[in-house]
Amino acid sequence: MRWLLTRPHPLNAPLAEALRLAGDACWEHPLLAIEPLPADAQRLLIQTSTAWDRVIFTSQASVDYSLELLKALQRSKPQPVYYAVGQATVDRLAGEGLTAGAGQDNGSESLLEAMLPLPSEQRILLITGQGGRQLIDDVLKRNGHHLTRCEVYRRQSLVDTSLDRLVQEHSIDTVLITSAQALSALTQSLDRATRGHLQLVVMSKRIADIASELDYARVVISNDLRAEALRLAIE
């Protein structure tokens, strides 16, 4: 296979190395850039010393850009229950010494299915990115819980029409897409004819449903970002 890896820098490099060792060709072309937001909101939460019952991290970036807050949470007694959206976020939290629950699949829907029901009126902290989905907020509030949203980063789409030429010149046939925002940037960067020759590997049914309406040749779902799981999803 000939892969295009589109995650924000520098997340593509380890996967690219693993895929190349498996015999595939890879090109890295981030479709999103991530930048931290000012830490004022995090510091305010640290100062208030709220005793959280549950803490949810929605992405690896939500961990990377909340380390000061995360260390404060680790010092709290009693410890909250931690959750993560997606296995990659679970693994990132494990790197900080935290065990997190997650859904069977990637995506907020699967996490909520695994979390609920909860005891009444839980105090829940959601650590996420600016402008992200509101599904977790809406569902937990509708179930009577007290939710605080802390946005620690923003994502910028990197639309690049030169990507079409890169895909054609290198006969790229498979693209890894990990968010709806990245899918939108890819679609805006490619001609319709080029999309018709590509298969996408996506991380959730929600993204697959969106992609299925956009003229791509094939869309498959992988719940794991490791090279062997991605390759298995396509076979």
Looking at the chain, how many residues does it have?
235
pLDDT of residue 224: 87
pLDDT tens digits, one per residue of 213-226: 998 989 999 988 89
pLDDT tens digits, one per residue of 111-126: 999 999 999 999 999 9
Which CATH number is associated with domain 35-155?
3.40.50.10090
pLDDT of residue 133: 82
pLDDT of residue 217: 87
Question: Do 2-31+158-234 and 35-155 agree at the fold level?
Answer: yes
- Give the class (CATH, top level) of 2-31+158-234: alpha beta
3-state secondary structure of 127: strand
pLDDT of residue 39: 92
pLDDT of residue 42: 93
The helix (H) or strand (E) run that includes residue 126 is strand 123-129
Which sequence spans correspond to the domains of the chain? 2-31+158-234, 35-155
CB 6 within 8 A of CB 151: no
pLDDT of residue 73: 95
How far out from the chain centre does Cα 146 lie? Answer: 24
Choose among 73, 55, 69, 60: nearest CA to 115: 55
pLDDT of residue 131: 84
Q: How many helices (H) and strands (E) does the chain have?
A: 12, 10
pLDDT of residue 185: 97
All residue ranges of the chain with pLDDT < 70 are none
